[in-house]
Structure formats: C-alpha cells, structure tokens
Amino acid sequence: MRCGSIASNPVRLMVRVSCHSTVRSPVGTGARKHSGFCHRRAFQRNIVKIVIAAWHLKNPHVGIGRYTRELIDALGRVDRTNHYEILLPCVEHPFTARPNMHYRVIRFPLFRRRVWEQAAPLLAGPYDVLHFPYDSCGAWKRGKFVTTIHDMKPLLFPELRARMNLNRRIEEWLVGDRWKTIDHVVTISEHSRRDLLAHVPLRPDQVTVTPLGLDAGRFRPAERRREGRPYVFCVAGSDPTKNVGCLVEAFAMLPQALRDGFDLLLAGDVCKRMDIRAAIERFGISGQTKLVGVVSDVELIAYYQQATVFVFPSLYEGFGLPVLEAMGCGCPVIASNTSSLPEVAGNAALLMDPRQSDQLMRELTRVLESPSLQATLRTRGLARANTFTWDRTARETVAVYERTIES
C-alpha cells in the first residue's frame, strides 16, 4: 500500500500513513508517541523538522566550512523524508534544490556570528532538532539541540582560546551552562570522543562519532601526471598546532643531493606566518620553497594529484581531512602518529612523531628515494579513502537526530 501525501506546514506537519490513519505531529515539542509509528519497512514514519545553522559556509576553505557544506549536500541525497530548514548567512550557496530542503538567508548587517547564531534560529519557528554543525549552543530552545564538536583543541591548547570580548561575555550570559542545554553531541573521531568525555560533563550515550567523508568524484587521481619539477606538499592553517615548522626543518635536513631534486610547496593560511617564513630563510631553502597561500578546491586537488608526497605533521587533529583528501587523489602520505590521525590513515600512510624533525626527515628520504614505496602508498591510500563517504556521514547524522528526538 502506498503512503499518502504530506502537508508541509512549518508549524504542524500532517502525515498520512498507509494504515489510513492520520497522525498530527506538533513540531518543536520533541514528543513522539510510539503508537503513532508504524513498522519502518511497511509504513512511513512521522516527518520531523530539522534546522541547521550553517554560519560556517562563510568559511569554505577551513575544515568546519567543508564539513558543513558536505553534510548538508549529503543530507539532501540520503534523506528525502524529513523537512530541513538550512539557515544561511549569505545568498551564495552550492546546494541543489530539493523538495524537503528549504534554504533561508538570514543576514544582520551590523552583527557577526555570536548574534547571528542566537537570533537566526528564532526566525525558523518551532523545530524538532536544531543542529549547530560546529561548537556552539543557543540560548532559547524550541526543540532539541545537537552540536558538532570537532575537537577539544581550545581546552588542550589554552594559547589557542579565543580572547574574551564583549560578544563572548554576552553569549556566556545568555547561554549559561551549555552542557545542560545541549541534548546530543556529534564528534568526528573516536579520539575526539574520548577527549570530550574526559573533559566535559557529558554521558557516553550523549556523544556519537560520525566520521567525515570524501567527495570521491572530485578528490580522485589525475588521469595523467604532468611534467614539471617534483615537490613535497603540505596544506595547513595558521594554527601553531599544524606544526609546519617541523616539515620545513625536516626538508632542510634532507641529503643535499636528494633535496636538490624537489621543491617544498606550502598552501593555506600557514603562508601568512612570519615565523615559518623566517625559518625558511634561516634554513636556506627559500629558493626551493613556494608559498601559494589559500587556494581553490580545483587548485588544491591539482596540488594533491601532482605531489610526490603529502606531509601532515600536525600535533593534534579532530579528524585530519587533508590526509583523506590526499589519499583520495592518489598522493602518498606521511602524517603524525598523534590524536585522530592513525584512525584516518590506517595502514595507508607512514606515521611519525611530529616532535621529531629528524624522524620526519628519514621518512621523507624513504619515500622520495623509492618509487615502489610511493606506488604502495598510493594503492593503500586509494583503498582507504574509498571507505569514507559523506553519504555515510549524513545517514549516521540522521540517526542521531532520530535518537535525540525520541530520547
């Protein structure tokens, strides 16, 4: 038997199930009577309204921005049942129009993120779930709260904590104890989950891991490798925990005959770091080092595809998406053996102690001198990357929404 039509009123949704009964579901209460549910295989369950506060679409070149974009896009592919309202801070967005996804632009010209994330959800009306896909929380609840916390870096590295200012003080005053307000936390690796449970007052059943994915349609090997000078590649932000200085030193320590055959190419905001530029000068490798800055996705993919090896010497990562992207592009990877990176890399990368530049130098030497090792790492990396998909991330996130509503 076929389910009936759906009335998509934003405050109250009516669902006709195949047993011909009509169930009214007041969105925003979070209440669900089990008698209103039919067996999943035979009947359509109640539709819920999920609001996603997508502020970080303003930052497409950082990990949180990519996560937000890819998650929303994948939710549109895997969930055709629930109603989504995506709150956007700007008009431009990359999403495909879908019947159950409404994209709503909300702009406050005089205010920034802290005000936007408190006020914008209020304009969405009642909901079942409000999802902040980054570390934040609202002051006023009209349903359940789900928050994605990517890592515990601000707690573990106090020097990285944002400076206290008026906006933060207002937020703390409005929100109060966020851990009593948030209903469920999504995080992106088992390591981040352990850190969360060790440092914040959450129960184990309140924290779910949904690993990140890879857009294999874009992050894939090149059809052919171009001619040109080979290079060692790294992409990183300006955060000191990215530890790019270790790579600069290790590259400078390579045997002269080997080093002369390669360039060092650095991309991202790390190129703005004056200490990194000074280290490049101090080690005498400025002639071999190229600082290309923030690049588009098209450029980033090309750099991954053509690199001899990608190096990611980070001290701490909630996940480490560049490692996955590089492997998906068929690039051999050397990465740190810390935090979540072994979870992501598996046996598909060479892992090293990020505080030992001489160890990184030895691993670099092994890869640069051995085409057979490069080929092995490419094969393993591609196989590993194919196990991570954004559709899986989205399906597991929908499961979090459903469990949170029913709890």
Q: What angle do CA 232, 252, 63 make, to 5 degrees?
A: 45
* Greatest alpha-carbon span in the chain: 78
Question: Which class for 166: exposed (0-12), middle (13-18), buried (19 or more C-beta within 10 A)?
Answer: exposed
> How far apart are the C-alpha atoms of 168 and 115, rounded to whole Å?
10
Neighbours of 300 (CB within 10 A): 23
Please tell me the predicted confidence (pLDDT) of residue 28.
39
Please tell me the predicted confidence (pLDDT) of residue 110.
66
> How far apart are the C-alpha atoms of 76 and 390, rounded to whole Å?
11
Please tell me the predicted confidence (pLDDT) of residue 113.
79
Please tell me the predicted confidence (pLDDT) of residue 27.
36
pTM of the full structure: 0.84
CA dihedral in degrees (333, 338, 342, 348; nearest 10)? Answer: 20
Q: What does the block give as tokens for 376?
A: 């092995």
| Helix, strand, or coil (residue 3) | coil
Residue 243 near residue 314 (C-beta atoms within 8 A): yes
> How far apart are the C-alpha atoms of 225 and 284, rounded to whole Å?
29
Query: What is the set of domains in the chain, with CATH numbers?
Result: 1-47 (no CATH), 50-213+391-406 (3.40.50.2000), 231-385 (3.40.50.2000)
Which residues 6+ apart lie within 8 Å of 63 measured at CB? 150, 318, 319, 321
Residue 251 near residue 285 (C-beta atoms within 8 A): yes
> How far apart are the C-alpha atoms of 290 and 108, rounded to whole Å?
39
CA dihedral in degrees (369, 371, 376, 381; nearest 10)? Answer: 80
Which segments of 283-317 does DSSP mark as H helices, in order?
Answer: 297-306
Please tell me the predicted confidence (pLDDT) of residue 56.
86
Please tell me the predicted confidence (pLDDT) of residue 25.
37
Segments of 108-196 assigned E as strands: 129-132, 144-148, 184-187
Alpha-carbon torsion 200, 203, 206, 212, what sign?
positive
Q: Which positions of the chain have pLDDT values less than 70?
A: 1-46, 110-111, 159-168, 170
Q: What element of type H or E holds 53?
A: strand 49-53
Residue 242 near residue 314 (C-beta atoms within 8 A): yes
DSSP3 helix / strand / coil % (the chain, rounded to 5) = 40, 20, 40
- Which residue, chain included where needed, has tokens 């101090």? 282
Please tell me the predicted confidence (pLDDT) of residue 292.
97
